[in-house]
Amino acid sequence: MQDERLNNLPELDLLPAAERSNYQQHALVRLWNLAMHHPLTRRRFPPYHPEELTHENIFARWSEIPPARSADHLQCIIKEGKYQSFYEKETNAPIVTSTGGSTSKPKLLVSTYEEVLHDARFQGRSYRLAGITAHDTVATFGGSGTYATDYCIYHALAQIGCTIVPINDFRRAEENCEILETLRVNVLLTLPSKLYPLLSYLENQHKTLKNIRLIVTGGEPVSIQLKRRLINRLGTNLMFGSTFRTSDHGAIGYQCSHCEEGEYHLHEALQYVELASSDAGSANELVVSNLHCSYMPIVRLRSGDRAKWSDDQGNCLCGRTSRKIRLLGRTADMIKIGGEKVSGRLFSELPERVGIHENLVQMVVRTGSDGRDLVEIALDDSLRDRYENDLRSSLMANPTFARMVREDRIIGPIFVAARENMEKTPGYGKLKVLRDMRR
């Protein structure tokens, strides 16, 4: 019965724009009424008299609720004293899952069985549009624990009817290569950073995987350098697809054949999406509210993604009326160092500029013993002999960075030994060329 109800939900991305807007307004009212009384979210709502809460002014006052970071919102689970008693009173126990997220720290996510399937339904649509079919054999590069995102991946792929090959430890490159060859896997579904061990193994062994036709990614962009390396090893006919979801928010967007790189249709039957002023101040940040999380309402959570509208009228050539956004990067792309804000790309794109593989070098910003910002570059000794001068020169070629070094506001760059197994990205998190250890 639950599956049938989910399949009969309105196809919001095919509705006329006026009908879609009406649907969103009523969905937002339902979310308001749930979140305003929920122990995990009600403290974020300004006090209102009941007679003031009409459909019209709820829609207008939604922006008065201050956006929050996911980490702050999820901490309410632990800090809210009434949380335990709230769930003990429920007769139908929710599903409680955890996720490592980009912080590599476990977080609780609470939802019902029906809500997990609901989210997976939209994710399945993303995979279909990305090019996965029932005839494919799909290897999923997952985590080493129990994660909400893994559940949705498997539910979503099961809807398509493809063969699923779960690979939990992406670091075991030689074994994974054998699995992919033996089972004739032709699609990889993964975070881009999880491809580095396999790719390095293929390069070192001068091997290729001729069957791979499509790589579907999400969670982080595929860098120019990584895409070039993959095409060189897997063939010029290799295709790339992308989906947009987070473990905190669920399925957010998908790409049609008319979407350019970085563009996504929004899952507007699942998410209420806004663009709000970014903490970095340089662009708008995507703010997401999940319309179907009953046990743990997602209310105006900052995504950490900078974005702009690329088609906010729903006029895509594919015929879908859902709005489209273009992702511009992460809000963390701006970093304050030496007392000034600079683009994090100064550091994150450094490997590409000097011709070193980005997964073999890591830059760390920390606070020195005298309180000044300290910049470290960690890489293997053999690479240091070859690239140290180029890395240093490239950084010092930036006028702002060079000036702050001359004024003794920054120490560095200081070259240090590579951390053990740098190529094994930590936990379930993403590859980060730049790590800010001052937080």
pLDDT the model gives residue 312: 85
Q: pLDDT tens-digit profile of 52-88?
A: 777 778 887 888 888 887 666 666 655 554 445 445 5
Q: What are phi and psi of 362, to 5 degrees?
A: -135, 135
Angle at 356 between CA 376 and CA 174, to 5 degrees: 105
Task: Indicate the number of domains in the chain.
Answer: 1
- In percent, the amount of the chain with pLDDT more than 70 equals 82
For 295-311, give the secondary structure using H, E and C: CCCCCCEEEEEEEEEEE
For residue 114, what are its two tokens?
Answer: 């029906």
Q: What pLDDT does 81 receive?
A: 44
In a domain, 402, yes or no: yes
- Cβ-proximal residues to 52 (8 Å cutoff; 6+ apart), any chain: none
Residue 438: predicted pLDDT: 80
Question: Does residue 407 lie within any of the structural domains?
Answer: yes
Residue 368 has pLDDT above 70, yes or no: yes
- Look at strands 214-217 and 239-246 and give their pairing: parallel
In a domain, 382, yes or no: yes
**pLDDT value, residue 227:** 93
CATH number, domain containing residue 413 = 3.30.300
Distance CA 271, CA 264 (A): 13
**What is the pLDDT, as a whole number, of residue 7?**
43
Q: What is the pLDDT of residue 105?
A: 57
Q: Is residue 377 domain-resident?
A: yes
pLDDT of residue 6: 36
The answer to whether the beta carbons of residues 419 and 94 sit under 8 Å apart is no
User: What is the pTM (predicted TM-score) of this model?
Assistant: 0.81
Cβ atoms of 309 and 273 within 8 Å: the answer is no
CA 134/CA 301 separation, integer angstroms: 35
Is residue 121 within a helix (H) or strand (E), and if so which, with residue range?
A: helix 113-130
Residue 393 lies in a domain: yes
pLDDT tens-digit map of 173-206: 999 999 999 999 999 999 888 899 999 999 999 9
Report yes or no: 44 and 66 within 8 Å, Cβ to Cβ: yes
- Alpha-carbon gap, residue 409 to 275, rounded angstroms: 35
Q: Which residues of 120-133 are buried (b: 16+ CB within 10 A; e: fewer)?
A: bbbbbbbbebbbbe
274 part of a folded domain? no
Average pLDDT taken over every residue of the chain: 81
Look at residue 106 and tell me whether its pLDDT is greater than 70.
no
Q: How far apart are the first and last CA of the chain?
A: 48
**pLDDT at res. 393:** 93
Residue 263 has pLDDT above 90, yes or no: yes
Q: What was the pLDDT predicted at 61?
A: 84
**C-beta separation of 150 from 109 below 8 A:** no
**Domain with 403 in it:** 338-436
Alpha-carbon separation of residue 292 from 31, 39, 90, 250 (angstroms): 8, 17, 18, 10
Instruction: State residue 23's pLDDT score.
Output: 83
- For the record, the structure tokens of 246 come out as 């987070």
Q: Which amino acid is at 193?
A: S
Q: Is residue 35 part of a domain?
A: no
Q: What is the pLDDT of residue 332?
A: 67
To the nearest whole percent, how much of the chain has pLDDT over 90?
31
* Cα→Cα distances 334→261, 343, 348, 368, 377, Å: 22, 5, 11, 21, 19
pLDDT digits (tens, 9 = 90+) for 303-352: 888 899 998 888 889 888 889 999 987 776 778 888 888 888 888 888 88
In a domain, 232, yes or no: no
State the average pLDDT over residues 78-105.
Answer: 55
